[in-house]
């Protein structure tokens, strides 16, 4: 049975990812930090994981490897946003957003890569954001970090392709999750109207795609946008 490590597993998308992989027959390690993981399924291995601390990440990965032998897939879902215009943005908030969304992702990738390269097989899915492409006002820190996720992932895909480790990015779209709970219904309606289908994506839909993606053997270095907003070609 293949095993997947999911970071940020206590969030709205994280919970859907856990359920999606369980339904597909995977064994799941659910990493959580601030929001307590609610999953009580005995098939889920709960892992207290702060992606901003390298020693904690490495310890968690080592524990999984000791138990499972291999980690076949990593889904970097841990993320956060602190929205503020740049003149008012606290530099510490910039650092925090970057540390969780970008550097934390890198720490997790670096921890699992030796094992994946040794077995010459592995999948890494990094959860990005449309903000990386659109650069919304007030989200300079978040947009910059998520743009970094795309660049990092494509560089890593080039580095690891010869070892059969596939690295891809998924842009879920705006989801109704705790991260977007601060948005008003009018704001959410505006996001929906920006989609040609006139509706938002759902965590369950994203999870189904991620599970499908990690079953593919010939795809790496790609960015998949999962809502129906149409962007410029260049």
142: annotated active-site residue: yes
Average pLDDT, the chain: 93
Statement: residue 185 has pLDDT above 90: no
- Examine the pLDDT at 184 and tell me if it is beyond 80: no
pLDDT at 142: 96
* E strands, 66-207, in order: 73-76, 122-127, 165-171
What are the two backbone dihedrals, phi and then psi, of residue 6, each rounded to the nearest 5 degrees?
-115, 120
Whether the Cβ atoms of residue 71 and residue 3 lie closer than 8 Å to each other:
yes
Residue with tokens 């270095």, as numbered in its chain: 221
Cβ 2 vs Cβ 71: under 8 Å? no
Whether 2 shows a pLDDT value over 90: the answer reads yes
- Any idea where the domains of the chain sit in the sequence? 3-175+204-225
CATH number of 3-175+204-225: 3.40.50.720
Catalytic residue among 94, 142, 152, 191: 142
| pLDDT interval class at 190 (50, 70, 90) | confident
For residue 155, the tally of other CB atoms under 10 A from its CB is: 12
| Between 230 and 105, the higher pLDDT residue | 105
Spatial distance between the Cα atoms of 55 and 61, rounded to a whole number of angstroms: 10
């Amino acid at each position: 049975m293949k095993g997947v490590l999911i970071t940020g597993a206590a969030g709205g998308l994280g919970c859907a990812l856990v359920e999606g992989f369980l339904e597909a027959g995977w064994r799941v390690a659910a990493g959580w930090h601030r929001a307590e993981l609610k999953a009580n399924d005995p098939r889920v291995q709960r892992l207290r994981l702060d992606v901003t601390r390298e020693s904690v990440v490495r310890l968690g990965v080592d524990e999984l490897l000791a138990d499972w032998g291999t980690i076949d897939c990593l889904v970097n879902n841990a993320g956060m946003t602190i929205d503020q215009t740049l003149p008012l943005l606290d530099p510490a908030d910039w650092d925090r957003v970057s540390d969780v969304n970008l550097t934390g992702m890198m720490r997790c990738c670096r921890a699992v890569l030796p094992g994946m390269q040794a077995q010459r097989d592995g999948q890494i899915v990094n959860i990005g954001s449309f903000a990386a492409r659109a650069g919304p006002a007030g989200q300079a820190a978040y947009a910059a970090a998520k743009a970094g996720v795309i660049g990092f992932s494509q560089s890593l895909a080039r580095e690891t392709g010869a070892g059969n480790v596939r690295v891809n990015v998924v842009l879920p779209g705006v989801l109704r999750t705790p991260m977007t709970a601060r948005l008003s219904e009018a704001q959410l309606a505006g996001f929906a109207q920006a989609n040609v289908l006139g509706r938002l994506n759902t965590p369950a839909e994203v999870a189904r795609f991620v599970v499908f993606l990690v079953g593919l053997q010939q795809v790496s270095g790609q960015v998949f946008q999962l809502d129906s907003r149409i962007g410029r070609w260049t």
